[in-house]
Amino acid sequence: MYGTRSLGASFGAEVLDFQLSGTPSEADIAAIRGLWAEHKLLLFRNQSFDEATLVGFSRQFGDLEIHVREEYLSPEHPEILYVSNIERDGRRIGILSDSEVGWHYDQIYLPKPAVGSLLMADTLPPEGGNTEFADMCAAWEALPEATREKLDGCLANQSYEAFNQAYSVPTNNKQKARSPDIHQPIARTHPVTGRKALYLCPGMTTEIVGWDADESAEMLAFLFDWTTKPEFVYSHAWQPGDALMWDNACTMHRRDPFDPAHARLMKRTTILPPAELAVPF
């Protein structure tokens, strides 16, 4: 229904001639849903949008998660998380500032992990701040069979705290209580496509549950290296008007640093799995 153009990597597609603000029909949404599952990462270029459009469009794909970092939510639309280095009234309005952000899945620490995120460029620096994505389905499928057999059925510990210590500012006690460490399957069956993907990330995965500490560390180091090989990765150089929608059940992402002298503001929604698909494993 909509034309697409490859992003030049083994996954990801630009959707042509589509405006998020254009009140898409049910058929339009079904078409986008199909493309999203097929390509794992969708780029919409030249968008003109406001926050209500972002929330309204995102909601067509599922309930939206209200992020635990309430200090970085949009004052008007709490479904939107600001990712920014901008300060207003002596306080940063967004999460993650200007430094490098390591590989992570959004909210891997939720009991029912988010299936997608939509990120819109509001204000961009002249250079830097590329966002990279890794195809964790392809990474899983390319593993030697013996490694897959060893990992299948194992759980890994996911820690938002570990991510915050490395890349963000600490959470307060109430936020800590809402985002405790959690065990998730290391090979996760995608709730929509039924394909397996590696569900781990350097930013938040601390150990394989029940494994000897050295063996766990060695396997995780191998997997972090493996999943970020160039053949699994796409790097996005943002342009004004860009919106990216990613499959957060089978891709992880990271961000390059950028010059702190320049402002960057991105606006994100996070899509939860539909109730009937909420048993993800």
Q: Which residues bind ligand OGA (CB under 6 A)?
A: 83, 96, 101, 106, 117, 119, 131, 253, 255, 266, 268
Least distance (Å) from ligand OGA to the CB of residue 138? Answer: 20
Least distance (Å) from ligand OGA to the CB of residue 209? Answer: 25
* 106/122 with CB nearer Mn ion: 106
* 216/227 with CB nearer ligand OGA: 227
Least distance (Å) from Mn ion to the CB of residue 169? Answer: 15
Could you say which residues in the range 76-135 bind Mn ion, by CB under 5 A? Answer: 106
User: Which residue reads 């034309």 in tokens?
Assistant: 3
Kindly tell me the sign of the dihedral angle through the C-alpha atoms of 59, 61, 66, 67: negative
Least distance (Å) from Mn ion to the CB of residue 174? Answer: 21
Please state, in angstroms and as integers, the Cα–Cα distance from residue 252 to each residue in 9, 21, 103, 130, 187, following that order: 15, 27, 6, 14, 14
Contacts of 23 (CB under 8 A, 6+ apart): none
* 131/164 with CB nearer ligand OGA: 131
* 147/235 with CB nearer ligand OGA: 235
Residue 69 interacts with, from Mn ion, ligand OGA, none (CB under 5-8 Å by kind): none
* Of the candidates 234, 250, 40, 246, the residue with the CA atom closest to the CA atom of residue 140: 250
* 20/101 with CB nearer ligand OGA: 101
Full DSSP string of 50-68: -HHHHHHHHHTTSPBPPPS
* 28/71 with CB nearer ligand OGA: 71
Query: Counting beta carbons within 10 angstroms of the beta carbon of residue 180, is it exposed (0 to 12), middle (13 to 18) or buried (19 or more)?
Result: exposed
Least distance (Å) from ligand OGA to the CB of residue 54? Answer: 12
Residue 101 interacts with, from ligand OGA, Mn ion, none (CB under 5-8 Å by kind): ligand OGA
Least distance (Å) from ligand OGA to the CB of residue 62? Answer: 16
Helix residue ranges, H only, 154-212:
160-167, 173-178
Kindly tell me the sign of the dihedral angle through the C-alpha atoms of 166, 170, 173, 176: negative
Q: From CA 262, how far away is CA 259, in angstroms rounded?
A: 6
Least distance (Å) from ligand OGA to the CB of residue 246? Answer: 9
Residue 252 interacts with, from Mn ion, ligand OGA, none (CB under 5-8 Å by kind): none
Q: Which residue is nearest to Mn ion (CB)?
A: 106
Q: Does 14 bind Mn ion (CB under 5 A)?
A: no
At position 224, the amino acid (one-letter code) is F
Could you say which residues in the range 36-55 bind Mn ion, by CB under 5 A? Answer: none
Q: From CA 92, how far away is CA 32, in angstroms rounded?
A: 34
Residues that bind Mn ion (CB under 5 A): 106
